[in-house]
Amino acid sequence: MLSRVADSLYWMSRYMERADGILRMLKINYASSQDDIQEFSWKPVLRIFTYLDEDGASKISHNTRAVLQYMVTDRENSNSVLNIITRARENARSVQDHITKELWQCLNEFYHTIRDEKMNRDLQKDDPVSILDVLIKQGLLYFGTMDVTMARGEGYAFINIGKFLERGVQSADILDVRFSDRHYDFSQTDITYWKYLLLSISGYELYLKTYRSGFDARNVVEQTVLNDDFPRSILYSVGRLHIYFERLKSERNQEAFRKIDFMIGRIRSKVRYSTVESIMAQGLHTYLNGIKDDLYEVGNALNQNYFAYT
Amino acid sequence: MQTTELLNSYSVDPGTWDEMYSESERTGGSLSEGRTLDFVRGQYRGVVDFLQQMSIEELNKKEELAKRLFMSQGITFTVYSSGEGIEKIFPFDIIPRIITAAEWKYIEEGIRQRLKALNLFLKDVYSNQFILKDGIVPVEMVYSCPHYLREMHGFHVPHDLYVHIAGIDLIRDNDGTFYILEDNLRTPSGVSYMLENREITKRIFPDLLPGNNVRSVTEYPNILHRNLVSLSPRQTANPTVVVLTPGIYNSAYFEHTTLARLMGVELVEGRDLVIDNHRVFMKTTAGLQQVDVIYRRVDDEFLDPLVFNPDSMLGVAGIMSAYRKGNVAIVNAIGNGVADDKAIYTYVPEMIRYYLNEEPILKNVPTYQLGHADQREHVFANMQKMVIKKTNESGGYGMLMGHSASDEEISRYKMEILRDPRQYIAQPIINLSSAPCYMNGRMKPRRVDLRPYALCGPDGIQIVPGGLTRVALREGSLVVNSSQGGGSKDTWVLAG
């Protein structure tokens, strides 16, 4: 496979995963903003997912419509869902002969949906949940089409490598920023707060089934980092990343393969053999940052060894 | 029966050949329904019957569906304005253009003959130059052509094939005679529209195609792929064939990716390729992989910055040397522009007589060389009846239509012509034939041309029964180029 093609597939996939994460998170935070006794602040969200500085974030952090507009359809915000989808589509467009026609059409329709002026108008006055649902479904259509139509070859491996690398980083980010918002105070027992954090990564129901004794910050950390059955956990993401990377093993390029395989394997072990206690002992922030840096390094190594073409 | 009104309002421009109506003097409304139908040519009967069973609302819905299909499939080109890309579709008219079996047989034979001669001309002009020595084509015509490349001289291309893919433009005059308008032998585009337009017709008019005995065009990519594989310089079971594109910002990008997909080959950009020891390689995730055949959609002058335009970012440095060493096949051959130059065009009938000893089947449009003083004078005296074209431009650029130009434009053009007469030719304005188009609930005649696609391989020339019909959508306009507001139609060739 052409290096440029692998690169584009990888980024198409990372952007789609990112868009999905942002949309879900927006939907739940919107619900949370309607449920909050005190005035709800969008600051943590703006901090994870935008490049706004402190002042810029403060300006809109209490204006739900402004935040939604900024994060979904704003053309100036380079991390708006619209711009992320545009980039995913540009990548897909340059590799149309490597993804199925169905997948291309699905992404192309997503792009036309979100660029429709009506979307922007509706976001200002209609029910935001309905609009976010339309977009989330478009994304699900993409993931489903991928699963049903794409051949399980090298391209599929690069797509999944991008997807799970992005997901690992995103879960670490969400957890870190949420706790930093609470100054890493683990005695915090505000039920609503944890409920919405879990909801935003689709982990609420699993939490209820796993932990019967109510909400405890430690359990939230455990599920989000260490639960291998939870598809948004860091352990699960890194595990998948490893499985898909191993599919790239071939006679050629052995040296690069071994190097990156070692890197991912080390992260995987590091997470697997952590416990909530060991994480706390290190400090959650340090631990999560360590994981993120390791994942970024994998991204760089892929870039150097598999995607270099210019 | 609302669509009967649709037909009744159809009035053909006087003195014009209409593809659907046989009676051009008739004007709308005056005849009964039965009489109106009498004038519909046999090949259009099926479609007219079909349309008559539909209401205007249904037809509008069909048109809407066609637009949506183009959009959602990304069959679009991007117009960049105010820093952001806007997706546009090429206008598509839902009523097909229909060609009878007899017409097609004639076209096919004519194109085959013409391509045979043009290919021999290219071989000759880049080797022995008999045709120049015998004075059939003036030497200065060849050497003054910017597309004549000395780099190609004395180099044998595989199977002596220069033209692998040709898109020859045909038009029809008042009496229905076909004329060759242009030979496109470099990187003719539009074939993806031949294929996609057909797919759209299948979607918007279910069951219409099978009932009308329409020949299929789907074989095109398979024939092309087979021809490309057969050109591989390496004798391997699975040669690497690639399509070379200038990239996603090229307006024909959709076509490049469609062809790569339909042939199952890699779509590459210049930056994906590298030359090592006069061989071409592509950069893959598993290291370098040798490339054997390149179907390039990049123009000659951008292909190799070491030989041609040094500023080109689209090409591959050193590819020309790999080509000349015979380590890679490039399709179409480099330097073909000398054969489809608009001034050389005049000599194609002579080439056919010279190389094949045959009379040309398809006619040339009479063409005046503005380098000749006599011919120039004649043209200058009759500017209103002439179209002036630049010899090395295409896509409808650098054209002057004498009948619609102002005096000022004409005199400015005359000045320009006198500065460098070799750059220009003149042709009498041909009154292109018209075909019915569906426009805002009415059927209107609009002018059309026809571009069939011919594929030449070591085993001969194959022409897929179909092509691209371009339409001048503006009323009365004779310019069909997409860059000048043209659209397209699905093109049917009927089986005997």
Contacts of A250 in chain B (CB under 8 A): 286
- Phi first, then psi, for residue B428 (nearest 5°) are -60, 145
* Structural domain that includes position A256: 153-310
Closest CA relative to residue B240, chosen from B329, B332, B334, B333:
B329
Three-class SS of B397-437 = CCEEEHHHCCHHHHHHHHHHHHHCHHHEEEEECCCCCEEEE
- Give the span between the Cα atoms of A109 and A64, in whole angstroms: 27
Q: Is the peptide bond before A91 cis (omega within 30 degrees of 0)?
A: no
- Asked if residue B248 is part of any domain, the answer here is yes
Has residue B151 got a pLDDT over 50? Answer: yes
Q: What is the pLDDT of residue B30?
A: 47
* A189 min Cα distance to partner chain B (Å): 48
Q: What is the pLDDT of residue B456?
A: 96
Best A248, A252, A309 residue to mutate vs chain B (most B CBs within 10 Å): A309
Question: For residues B267 and A99, is the Cβ–Cβ distance under 8 A?
Answer: no
- Give the span between the Cα atoms of A156 and A168, in whole angstroms: 18
E strand residue ranges, B45-184? 77-81, 84-88, 92-99, 165-172, 178-184
Contacts of A307 in chain B (CB under 8 A): 285
CA angle, B397 as apex, B391 and B399 as ends, to 5°?
70
pLDDT band at B475 (very low <50, low <70, confident <90, very high): confident
pLDDT, tens digit, for every residue of B392-440? 776 667 788 888 888 898 898 888 889 888 888 999 998 899 999 998 8
Which residue in A has a C-alpha nearest to residue B269's C-alpha? A4
- Give the span between the Cα atoms of A56 and B405, in whole angstroms: 57
- Give the span between the Cα atoms of B376 and B387, in whole angstroms: 13
Q: Let me know whether A86 and A130 are in one domain.
A: yes
- Give the span between the Cα atoms of A141 and A135, in whole angstroms: 10
Contacts of B285 in chain A (CB under 8 A): 1-3, 6, 154, 158, 248, 253, 306-307
- Looking at the partner chain, which of B73, B253, B272 has a beta carbon nearest the beta carbon of A2? B272
Helix (H) or strand (E) holding B91: none
Identify the weakest region by mean pLDDT among A228-232, A235-239, B36-40, B82-86: B82-86
Q: What is the pLDDT of residue A54?
A: 87
Instruction: Please indicate whether, in this complex, the C-beta atoms of B283 and A308 are within 8 angstroms of each other.
Output: yes
- Give the span between the Cα atoms of A188 and A204, in whole angstroms: 18
Handedness of CA A54, A59, A62, A66 (dihedral sign): negative
Q: Let me know whether B7 and B88 are in one domain.
A: yes
pLDDT, tens digit, for every residue of B154-205? 988 999 999 999 999 999 998 899 999 999 999 999 999 999 999 999 999 9
Q: B210 is written with which tokens?
A: 């099978």
- Asked if residue B260 is part of any domain, the answer here is yes
* A1 min Cα distance to partner chain B (Å): 5
Q: Let me know whether A42 and A127 are in one domain.
A: yes
Q: Let me know whether A97 and A177 are in one domain.
A: no
- Give the span between the Cα atoms of A5 and A11, in whole angstroms: 10
- Give the span between the Cα atoms of B69 and A109, in whole angstroms: 11
Instruction: Specify the amino acid at residue A125.
Output: K
Q: Let me know whether A120 and A231 are in one domain.
A: no
Share in percent of chain A as helix, strand, coil (round to 5): 75, 0, 25
Q: B391 is written with which tokens?
A: 């010899």
**Domain endpoint, select from A116, A133, A150:** A150
Has residue B25 got a pLDDT over 60? Answer: no
- Residue whose token pair is 């290291």: B287
Contacts of B272 in chain A (CB under 8 A): 2-4, 309
Q: Let me know whether A117 and A206 are in one domain.
A: no
- Asked if residue B305 is part of any domain, the answer here is yes
Q: What is the pLDDT of residue A309?
A: 63
Helix (H) or strand (E) holding B311: none
Question: For residues B489 and B197, is the Cβ–Cβ distance under 8 A?
Answer: yes
**Domain endpoint, select from A124, A150, A176:** A150
**Which chain B residues touch A if contact means CB-CB below 8 Å?**
71-74, 84, 87, 247-248, 253, 257, 260-261, 265-269, 271-272, 282-287
- Give the span between the Cα atoms of A92 and A108, in whole angstroms: 9
The ipTM, to two decimals, is: 0.80
Q: What is the pLDDT of residue B29?
A: 46
Instruction: Please indicate whether, in this complex, the C-beta atoms of B253 and A90 are within 8 angstroms of each other.
Output: no
CB pairs under 8 A between A and B: 68
Instruction: Specify the amino acid at residue B144.
Output: S
Instruction: Please indicate whether, in this complex, the C-beta atoms of A253 and B285 are within 8 angstroms of each other.
Output: yes
pTM: 0.88
Q: Write the burial class of residue B439 (CB in 10 Å: 0-12 exposed, 13-18 middle, 19+ buried).
A: middle
Which residue in B has a C-alpha nearest to residue A254's C-alpha? B286
Contacts of A117 in chain B (CB under 8 A): none
Question: For residues A244 and A257, is the Cβ–Cβ distance under 8 A?
Answer: no
Which residue in B has a C-alpha nearest to residue A7's C-alpha? B285
**Domain endpoint, select from B76, B94, B112:** B94
Closest CA relative to residue B19, chosen from B31, B28, B10:
B10
**N-term to C-term CA, chain A:** 15
- Give the span between the Cα atoms of A200 and A28, in whole angstroms: 5
Q: Let me know whether A82 and A217 are in one domain.
A: no
Q: Let me know whether B295 and B238 are in one domain.
A: yes
The set of residues, in sequence order, having a beta carbon less than 8 Å from that of A265 and lying 6+ positions away, is A242
CA distance to A223, A270, A282, B479, per residue, from A266 (Å): 21, 6, 18, 66
**Counted domains in chain B:** 3
Helix (H) or strand (E) holding A213: none
Walk along chain A (310 residues) in steps of 10 and give the mean pLDDT of each run.
94 97 90 77 86 89 92 94 96 93 95 91 90 95 97 96 96 86 71 82 90 85 94 96 94 88 97 94 94 96 84
Q: Let me know whether B311 and B370 are in one domain.
A: no
Instruction: Please indicate whether, in this complex, the C-beta atoms of A94 and B248 are within 8 angstroms of each other.
Output: yes
Instruction: Please indicate whether, in this complex, the C-beta atoms of A309 and B271 are within 8 angstroms of each other.
Output: yes
- Asked if residue B316 is part of any domain, the answer here is yes
Q: Let me know whether A162 and A137 are in one domain.
A: no
Instruction: Please indicate whether, in this complex, the C-beta atoms of B285 and A1 are within 8 angstroms of each other.
Output: yes
- Phi first, then psi, for residue A100 (nearest 5°) are -70, 160
- Give the span between the Cα atoms of B36 and B23, in whole angstroms: 10
Q: A276 is written with which tokens?
A: 């909530």
Q: What is the pLDDT of residue B394?
A: 66
Q: Let me know whether A141 and A158 are in one domain.
A: no
Residues composing chain A = 310
Instruction: Please indicate whether, in this complex, the C-beta atoms of A108 and B73 are within 8 angstroms of each other.
Output: yes
- Residue whose token pair is 């009927």: B494
Q: Let me know whether A158 and A139 are in one domain.
A: no
**Which chain A residues touch B if contact means CB-CB below 8 Å?**
1-6, 75, 90, 93-94, 96-97, 101, 104-105, 108-109, 112, 154, 158, 248, 250, 252-253, 306-310
Question: For residues B275 and B285, is the Cβ–Cβ distance under 8 A?
Answer: no
**Domain endpoint, select from B412, B428, B444:** B428
Q: Let me know whether A165 and A145 are in one domain.
A: no
**Domain endpoint, select from A150, A167, A186:** A150
Contacts of A2 in chain B (CB under 8 A): 266, 268, 272, 282-285
Contacts of A93 in chain B (CB under 8 A): 74, 248, 253, 257
Q: Let me know whether A139 and A174 are in one domain.
A: no
Has residue B26 got a pLDDT over 90? Answer: no
Q: Let me know whether A119 and A75 are in one domain.
A: yes
**Domain endpoint, select from B271, B297, B327:** B327
Q: What is the pLDDT of residue A236?
A: 97
- Asked if residue B409 is part of any domain, the answer here is yes
Three-class DSSP category at A53: coil
Question: For residues A225 and A235, is the Cβ–Cβ distance under 8 A?
Answer: yes
* Structural domain that includes position B16: 2-94
Q: A183 is written with which tokens?
A: 């100054």
Contacts of B283 in chain A (CB under 8 A): 2-4, 308-309
Best B250, B283, B285 residue to mutate vs chain A (most A CBs within 10 Å): B285
Antiparallel, parallel or unpaired: β B178-184 and B165-172: antiparallel
> From the DSSP assignment, how many helices (H) and strands (E) are in chain A?
16, 0
Q: Let me know whether B322 and B260 are in one domain.
A: yes
pLDDT band at B82 (very low <50, low <70, confident <90, very high): low
* A310 min Cα distance to partner chain B (Å): 6
- Residue whose token pair is 């290190």: A282
Q: B68 is written with which tokens?
A: 């949506």
- Give the span between the Cα atoms of B165 and B185, in whole angstroms: 7
**Counted domains in chain A:** 2
- Looking at the partner chain, which of A101, A112, A252 has a beta carbon nearest the beta carbon of B287? A252
Instruction: Please indicate whether, in this complex, the C-beta atoms of A252 and B286 are within 8 angstroms of each other.
Output: yes
Antiparallel, parallel or unpaired: β B266-269 and B486-493: unpaired
